[in-house]
């Protein structure tokens, strides 16, 4: 197995640049000298932090930043050489992350694991699957894993992607409400023209429609795209800008902001809970009463009552947009393990859990209204996150296009359903605090 050095490079003592019999300096020492000099230049104001890659390779630039930050942290540049040393032990070339981060110092390692196997009956994903998760919250994977085992004893869970559509909603200024109405009419009459402009910017994305919203002399146009296997936020932004250029050229409307917050991205929003964003996905299962009693130490009726009083009545009283127990927990852990945009956990928690007794057994379901996932682009290209996608067998573009992202959404919904089932049962059996105590978390 390849080790990594403080500079982030793979350790290869026999490679070119290693110290020879004459005592020549090896490549690692040379990199350290360069890194120290670069750190000095930043400290002295000769270079800016983001300019280091212009003067050295990305790994050396990252080393320079660690030396600088470590020295600053300890109030002297000659502080401990081990400062940020663990951050510097990353297992991929820093150049691989250039599109994902700026001012790189290294990598933060989050413990990763799997739950399952759990049987998934989906349109895009089928059979027994392990689901990758990364978290620092003790007992989370144990809880989700318990739910997976219960789902498997019941024959697995069914999952379906119900709707797809990444959105971007620019806001335009017009003269008055009459002009707003005129703009809406123009957009409806020229949607084909807008589609041509938007789709000219991408070889994959498709404009599904434009929904107008008028507030006085503000007109919001919510563009919705099928972005296939990409999460598609950048794709939607670039495509929408092209369409906005057409609107400004051919109407009297003035674009104020390419994003007018009616998208709505990375914020709690009822529009996403109702209309959906990314993928709307649902999963369900029926758990035999004997399994609920034997494995979860409770009854179908007790689980159903906890769900109603906690997830529905309690959430309504709190004014919550999510009527669930802890869907964000599972969604966040899967996002981290598979390279998704972590901030979009906000929309990923837009979920409703149901539970009811049907013929004596427990029927449970989970519907996530706005799950924004992709298997190409963004963080999915990073090596460890790509391996997380490999665990599910969904890395890269699917055939047909969009099927891999659908599969990831179905797996996420099933794992989140397992987490809901486990937590609701722990509450119903009054074992929640005991489980944490037993696991020492």
Active site residues: 137, 341, 436
Strand partners, 163: 280
DSSP for 231-273, please give it: --HHHHHHHHHHHHHHHHHHSS-EEEES--SSS--SS--HHHH
CA 194 from chain centre, in angstroms, equals 29
Query: Sign of the CA dihedral 97, 103, 106, 107?
Result: negative
Q: Minimal CA–CA distance to 253: which of 200, 207, 190?
A: 190
Distance CA 160, CA 414 (A): 10
Q: Minimal CA–CA distance to 342: which of 86, 141, 100?
A: 100
**Which helix (H) or strand (E) is 280 found in, with range?**
strand 278-287
Give the orientation angle of helix 191-199 with respect to helix 233-250, to 10 degrees.
130
Distance CA 149, CA 156 (A): 9
Distance CA 163, CA 13 (A): 53
Chain position carrying tokens 């919550």: 320
**Which helix (H) or strand (E) is 387 found in, with range?**
helix 383-392
List all residues 6 or more positions away from 343 whose beta carbon is below 8 Å from its beta carbon. 266
């Amino acid at each position: 197995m390849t080790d990594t050095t403080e500079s982030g490079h793979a350790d290869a003592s026999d490679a070119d640049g290693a110290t020879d019999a004459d005592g020549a300096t090896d490549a690692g020492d040379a990199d350290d000298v360069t890194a120290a000099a670069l750190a000095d230049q930043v400290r002295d104001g000769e270079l800016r932090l983001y300019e280091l890659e212009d003067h050295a390779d990305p790994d050396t630039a990252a080393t320079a930043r660690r030396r600088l930050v470590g020295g600053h942290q300890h109030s002297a540049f000659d502080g401990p050489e081990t400062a940020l040393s663990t951050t510097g032990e990353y297992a991929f070339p820093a150049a691989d992350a250039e599109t994902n981060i700026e001012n790189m110092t290294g990598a933060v390692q989050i413990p990763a694991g799997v739950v399952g196997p759990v049987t998934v009956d989906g349109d895009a994903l089928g059979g027994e699957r392990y689901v990758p998760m990364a978290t620092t919250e003790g007992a989370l994977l144990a809880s989700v894993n318990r739910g997976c085992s219960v789902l498997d004893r019941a024959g697995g869970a069914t999952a379906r992607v119900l709707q797809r559509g990444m959105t971007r909603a620019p806001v335009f200024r017009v003269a008055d409400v009459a002009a707003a109405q005129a703009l809406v009419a123009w957009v409806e009459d020229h949607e084909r023209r807008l589609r041509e402009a938007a789709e000219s910017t991408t070889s994959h994305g498709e404009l599904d429609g434009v929904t107008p919203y008028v507030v006085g002399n503000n007109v919001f146009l919510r563009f919705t795209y099928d972005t296939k296997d990409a999460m598609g936020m950048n794709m939607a932004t670039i495509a929408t800008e092209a369409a906005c250029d057409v609107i400004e050229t051919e109407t009297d409307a003035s674009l104020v902001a390419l994003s007018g917050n009616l998208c709505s991205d990375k914020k709690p929003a009822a529009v996403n809970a109702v209309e959906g964003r990314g993928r709307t996905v649902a999963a369900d299962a029926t758990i035999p009463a004997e399994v609920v009693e034997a494995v979860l130490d409770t009854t179908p009726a007790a689980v159903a009552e906890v769900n109603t009083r906690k997830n529905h009545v309690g959430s309504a009283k709190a004014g919550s947009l999510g009527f669930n127990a802890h869907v964000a927990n599972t969604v966040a852990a899967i996002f981290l393990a598979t390279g998704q945009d972590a901030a979009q956990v906000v929309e990923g928690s837009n979920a409703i859990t149901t539970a009811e007794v049907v013929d004596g057994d427990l029927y449970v379901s989970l519907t996530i209204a706005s799950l924004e996932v992709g298997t190409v682009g963004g963080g999915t290209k990073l090596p460890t996150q790509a391996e997380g996608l490999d665990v599910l067998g969904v890395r890269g573009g699917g055939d047909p296009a969009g099927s891999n992202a659908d599969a990831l959404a179905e797996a996420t919904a099933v794992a989140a359903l397992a987490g809901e089932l486990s937590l609701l049962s722990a509450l119903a059996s009054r074992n929640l605090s005991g489980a944490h105590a037993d696991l020492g978390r």
